[in-house]
Structure 1
Amino acid sequence: MAGPLRREQQRAASIVRVLALYRPLLDAYVIEFFTEDLWARLPPSWQAALADVPAPRLAAALLQPAATTVTAVWPLSLLAFKATAQALAFPRHHHRRRHRRRLPCQSAALPPLLRKHVKPKKQHEIRRLGQVVKRLSQAAGCDRVVDVGSGQGHLSRFLAFGLGLPVTAVEGDGRLVEAAERFDRELLRELRKAQARGAQVPLFPRGPRHVAGRLDPRAPWLDELLPPEPGPPAGPPNPLGSRGPERVLLTGLHACGDLSVALLRHFARSPHVAALTSVACCYMKLSTRPASPATSPALGYPLSAWVAGLPGHALSYKAREAACHALEDYAGRLRADSGALRTHCYRAVLETLIRAADPSKKRLAVQTVNKAHALSFPEYAQLGLPRVGLDPAAFQLDSEAVRAMLRQGQRVVAFFSLALLLAPLVETLILLDRLLYLREQGGCRGCRVRAGVLPPPTLPLPAGFQCALIPLFDPRFSPRNLVLVAAKCPLGPVLSALDEDSGDDEDSGDDEDSGDDEDVAPPGGSPPSCPQAEPSTEEQSQG
């Protein structure tokens, strides 16, 4: 393990150095393009190279690995910036998986009863993750799967009804638990009707057990969960508690913010948790180092001792928010020269007008203006200014100063694209931090037990933790596609099985498109079980 550990440590250190070098670019808000003169922050040679590059050429030259359509000679420093960012970021496509779909559609690999209420994006995710969970559960000898942050129970339902696994679904929002139980009852009714007609339905008759409660990240071996919100004051029984020798696989599909970190702590500390799969999201909600470390010892980032010891490892809210952007989706907009790109400039001009009228109004949330790209700027401003308490009649919305800023729309897009190129590096650093944490915890667990930091185990202690990061989903419509897999047993057979399956993955072909899903999410949309993040300024710039 020393070889992989050293490589991961070196990669994390290299990313920290690169992010520190480009921090003014990473921490910049594109809505402040004019108010903070962001274009002037770029080296003059970069300004000259990027000022008039059309969006499709920008996508090919900047966001794609190979620049085959660039006709101008770019500065070596800009080429080095791109090459470094792409080399240090984790690959987001499986080296053997062939994706041919252009848009998510109904998955023919899921029985129709398991598709109901499930968006196409989520269908793809639960089927792919379910395969990993089943193999990992078998390899680790697990008796039960515990799905934390289960939301409306889509993953839990597939694991139980579709794969026949014993599943406990834990969700902190009691209303989502009620919805999940209602969906389970609907599925069981439809299953019985189909069986009564003599139809052969490839489903198991046992559903998941739903629990309304929250895990305590500091004490996974307690017998009770924290109470749900809203819910009764007393917590329900903890499926990871200390009763009995049951071995558990812990999973979380897009567990929001610190919840994904809590899963790692439970895996590292609880002798009952034998395996883990974690797909994170909402990095901006991670707790970070406070002014006084003693006030909050359990942080979401940094998690590992190695990353915490790197000078300049801190990540701003803006950097962590940027890591949640859909790079592949944005590259597609550039290639198509989408009219939606002009809303970046619209929002930056609007910010200039707002601050000129009231300097105290900075980075205010302007709710999405529907089809903003189809409007003229005066029409856009007429809708946006009242949302921050300003009267549009007090502004000259078609002045020469406004038109001069609007003519710089291509520069705004180029600047945003540069910042977006750093986003995968931030995500890679956060995930590397988690991988290193597990390696650190697995290497010294016995010492912490003997020192009394952890309780005596009821199950044998492993010599170390096995862990890996896998690009599991198609990143074009599931941007948070890297799954952290960990086990207290060898992972080789599980990872080998994934490699064998990836060449003929049925999700990579043309699935049937039944068109009967009533709630189709756009690429990169938030999962329904995840609380919405604080409105980002970049999202505001899209409308």
Structure 2
Amino acid sequence: MPGISAGPVTSRVLGGAAAPHPTPHLQQHLEQSPEQRRAADIIRLLMLYRPLLDAFVIDFFTDGLWAQLPPAWQPALASATPVQLAGLLGGRGGPGAAWPLSLLAFAAAARALAFPRGCPGGSPRPPCQSSHLHPLLRRHVKPKKQHEIQRLGKLLKRLSQATGCERVVDIGAGQGHLSRFLAFGLGLSVTAVESDGRLVGLAERFDQELLWELGKSKGLGNKRPSLQPLIPRAPQHVAGRLDPAAPWGEFLLPPDPPGPGPTAQNPLGGPGGSEDGGQVLVTGLHACGDLSPALLWHFARSPTVAAVALVGCCYMKLSTTPQPPGCPLGYPLSTSVAALPGHQLSYRAREAACHALEEYEGRLRGGSPHLRAHCYRAVLESLIRAADPAKRHLGLQPGRKAHALSFPQYAHLGLPLAGLDPAEVPLDSGAVGAMLEQQHKVVAFCTLGQLLAPAVETLILLDRLLYLREQGFHCALVPLFNPRFSPRNLVLVAARTPLATVLAGLDKDSEDGDSSKDEDLGEAESPREGQSPHSPGHRP
């Protein structure tokens, strides 16, 4: 894995000499684990720049956000080109303007405290069809998803071999693409759990199509020596909702709304273990909002679960209000993070953590017309608020191709969504023109928010890792997917036994994956021999 510093990065980057004799506060800091220190450092950084982190770009003009930036930053950012902003964001290439040292220190601290997301590697073009997935497993699956299920599937196979568990429970399985690969492609026994009954029906239909094709063709993989033949072993699909507050033996609730099928059964089995008396692996690919912490909560209480591999998403949907005693959900999960002053994260901060950093940097470097969309929306918000101050943050979506429109065209689509008549709003006024001329400032302000976003995601994931560590589990965070294609690419892996054999050699998995032909696999370095599997990452 790419290296993650074990020390307090903020003090090293932002300055300050170490005291000759540790103060009580410093002594306590040194006694913390590297992950606890990193979490504390991130919180201190976020507290320094909380107004920037909590600001909504659509309020750029209505709230005068530019004037709220440090005065020393404003001239440099106002004159910076998109390519120079990309260099500030990615830390590659020297500044093209006289950046203030405080701005450089801010950017360096934000980058240093965030978990390494893996080397993008390969070509910057989008992923193509995966030549190392069986053709029948590519059906109905977009290339991005093919990349994800192949990489996560290999990790789960390694977990299966290390734990001796061949049963996998896929929570939030959707249309069953990952479950299908695990079952048909890797020969694992899979139970796919999905709360939407329509998706369950679609997944079962796709399974039947695949079984029919296998029977007809006798396995296309036999014609491709590089591909393993598929195994005619479909997943079992269960329609049900995860009940985060239930005892571990009562894992599921009926789907919402209840479907016509049988009542949802707990795939983890009752107190005696799983259905076959053995243990299971649990996985969730982009488990949304509170589903991720609920999975970890059940894992921590369920002796039948040997290991978990989880990729979260939609952090803005996490619960942040205090939960009932004994039922930690949302954020924070760990007592370590909950005890840190200033650990709270606003909705806006958690939403920012879901941004696609690499994609935004690519847009900056390419001068993408998509960049004007932020300015358009901020100007539109100003017009809406001027017409009706009660209308604020309405969640308007004038169209996915808004960047290709002129602003009057954009406004004619957006104003009716706010209940306003475009004919009654001055769209060609000097004030509108003056705001549109500040697009470069809006883009620069967005770039500063993007700098902080990975640190916020790191804090959320650190909280989950520390929660598992507090329960005595072995755990790691692995940048498994190519971040160019899969922004939520960090996989949290936890087990009741050491993970060294599971994590070792993941870089070889990427080498014999699709990188040579499809160029859709990122690089991930494995920990060296003897390094602790407890660490969220390892210095190469």
TM-score tier, shorter chain, comes to 0.7 to 0.9
- Choose which of 493, 497, 518 in structure 2 pairs with 1:511: 518
1:218 CA drift (Å): 2.8
1:304 equivalent in structure 2: 334
* Stretches (4+) displaced over 6 A: 1-5
1:295 CA drift (Å): 8.8
* Deviations, residues 257-292 of structure 1 (Å, cap 9, x unaligned): 1111111111111000001100001101111124xx
AA at the equivalent of 1:493: T
AA at the equivalent of 1:9: Q
- Choose which of 143, 164, 171 in structure 2 pairs with 1:148: 171
1:346 CA drift (Å): 1.0
Structure 1 CA distance, aligned partners of 2:430 and 2:221?
A: 74
Structure 2 CA distance, aligned partners of 1:46 and 1:165?
A: 55
Whether the aligned pair in 2 keeps the contact of 1:5 and 1:436 (CA below 8 Å) is no
- Choose which of 346, 353, 372 in structure 1 pairs with 2:376: 346
2:500 equivalent in structure 1: 492
- Choose which of 34, 46, 63 in structure 1 pairs with 2:89: 63
Structure 2 CA distance, aligned partners of 1:163 and 1:85?
A: 40
Aligned pairs for 1:447-486 (under 5 A) are: 465-486=473-494
What SS does the aligned partner of 1:439 have? helix
Structure 2 CA distance, aligned partners of 1:6 and 1:206?
A: 44
Structure 1 CA distance, aligned partners of 2:413 and 2:155?
A: 47
AA at the equivalent of 2:98: V
1:536 equivalent in structure 2: none
- Choose which of 447, 464, 477 in structure 2 pairs with 1:417: 447
1:400 equivalent in structure 2: 430
1:53 equivalent in structure 2: 80
AA at the equivalent of 1:361: K
Structure 1 CA distance, aligned partners of 2:123 and 2:158?
A: 26
> Mean alpha-carbon deviation: is it higher for 406-415 or for 368-377?
368-377
Structure 2 CA distance, aligned partners of 1:403 and 1:196?
A: 63
Whether the aligned pair in 2 keeps the contact of 1:148 and 1:171 (CA below 8 Å) is yes
Whether the aligned pair in 1 keeps the contact of 2:278 and 2:304 (CA below 8 Å) is yes
1:266 equivalent in structure 2: 298
> Mean alpha-carbon deviation: is it higher for 272-281 or for 370-379?
370-379
Whether the aligned pair in 2 keeps the contact of 1:224 and 1:236 (CA below 8 Å) is no
Structure 2 CA distance, aligned partners of 1:123 and 1:208?
A: 18
Structure 2 CA distance, aligned partners of 1:406 and 1:103?
A: 31
* Deviations, residues 39-79 of structure 1 (Å, cap 9, x unaligned): 0110111001100212122112x1112233x2322101000
CA RMSD of aligned residues (A): 2.2
Distance 1:370 1:474, change over 3 A: closer
2:148 equivalent in structure 1: 125
Structure 2 CA distance, aligned partners of 1:198 and 1:23?
A: 54
Unmatched segments (≥5 aa) in structure 2 = 1-5, 7-28, 521-540
1:528 equivalent in structure 2: none
Structure 2 CA distance, aligned partners of 1:247 and 1:67?
A: 50
Structure 2 CA distance, aligned partners of 1:362 and 1:332?
A: 31
1:439 CA drift (Å): 0.5
Q: Which has the higher contact order (CA 8 A, sep 6+)?
A: 1
Matched, 1:109 2:132: yes
TM-score by length of 1: 0.85
1:340 CA drift (Å): 1.5
Identity of aligned residues (%): 67
Matched, 1:236 2:264: yes
1:81 equivalent in structure 2: 106
1:143 CA drift (Å): 3.6
1:41 equivalent in structure 2: 68
Structure 2 CA distance, aligned partners of 1:486 and 1:333?
A: 35
1:297 CA drift (Å): 4.7
Whether the aligned pair in 1 keeps the contact of 2:241 and 2:255 (CA below 8 Å) is yes
Structure 1 CA distance, aligned partners of 2:247 and 2:324?
A: 21
Distance 1:76 1:246, change over 3 A: same
TM-score by length of 2: 0.86
Structure 2 CA distance, aligned partners of 1:176 and 1:370?
A: 25
Unmatched segments (≥5 aa) in structure 1 = 443-464, 514-543
Whether the aligned pair in 2 keeps the contact of 1:55 and 1:334 (CA below 8 Å) is yes
What SS does the aligned partner of 1:386 have? helix
AA at the equivalent of 1:210: H
1:520 equivalent in structure 2: none
